[in-house]
Amino acid sequence: MAVLVETHPRYLDHDSGSGHPERPARLRAVLAGIESAGVADAVVTATPRTATRDELARIHPPAYLDALEAFCARGGGHLDPDTHAGVDSWEAACLAAGAGLDAVERLDRGEATAAFLAVRPPGHHATPERPMGFCLLNNVAVTAAALVDRGERVVVLDWDAHHGNGTQDAFYRDGRVLYVSMHQFPLYPGSGRLDETGAGDGAAATINFPFAAGTSGDAYLAAVDEVVAPAAEAHGATWWLVSAGFDAHRADPLTGLGLSAGDFADLTARVTDLAAPGRIIAFLEGGYDLEALAGSAGACVAGLAGELHRPEPSTSGPLGRDVVSAALMLRPG
Supply the DSSP string of 181-239, one letter for each residue: EEEESS-TT----TT----GGGTT-EEEEEEPTT--HHHHHHHIIIIIHHHHHHHT--E
Q: What amino acid is encoded at 4 in this protein?
A: L
Nearest Cα to 281, choosing from 81, 172, 79, 146?
146
Residue-level pLDDT at 107: 98
Could you give the C-alpha distances from 202 to 59, 61, 116, 179, in angstroms and in order? Answer: 16, 20, 28, 10
**Percent of the chain at pLDDT above 90?**
99
- Going by DSSP bridges, is the β-strand pair 114-117/3-6 parallel, antiparallel, or unpaired? parallel
Which CATH number is 3-329 given? Answer: 3.40.800.20
Residue 180 CA from chain centroid, whole number: 11
Condensed to tens digits (0 to 9), the pLDDT of residues 154-202 reads 999 999 999 999 999 999 999 999 999 999 999 999 999 999 999 999 9
Supply the DSSP string of 21-43, one letter for each residue: SS-THHHHHHHHHHHHTT-GGGE
pLDDT surpassing 90 at residue 288: yes
**Percent of the chain at pLDDT above 70?**
100
> Is 249 labeled as catalytic in the residue annotation?
no
Q: How far apart are CA 211 and CA 284, in angstroms?
A: 21
Condensed to tens digits (0 to 9), the pLDDT of residues 117-155 reads 999 999 999 999 999 999 999 999 999 999 999 999 999
Q: Tell me if 83 sits within 8 A of 133, measured CB to CB.
A: yes
Q: Which among 84, 125, 163, 309 is annotated as catalytic?
A: 125
pLDDT surpassing 90 at residue 246: yes
Domain ranges of the chain: 3-329
Condensed to tens digits (0 to 9), the pLDDT of residues 315-331 reads 999 999 999 999 999 99
Residue-level pLDDT at 333: 77
Residue-level pLDDT at 29: 98
Assessment of whether the complete model's pTM goes beyond 0.95? yes
Residue-level pLDDT at 44: 98
Residue-level pLDDT at 1: 85
For 167, the enclosing helix (H) or strand (E) is: helix 165-171
Residue-level pLDDT at 43: 98
pLDDT surpassing 80 at residue 307: yes
Q: Tell me if 287 sits within 8 A of 247, measured CB to CB.
A: yes
Using DSSP's 3-state secondary structure scheme, residue 128 falls into coil
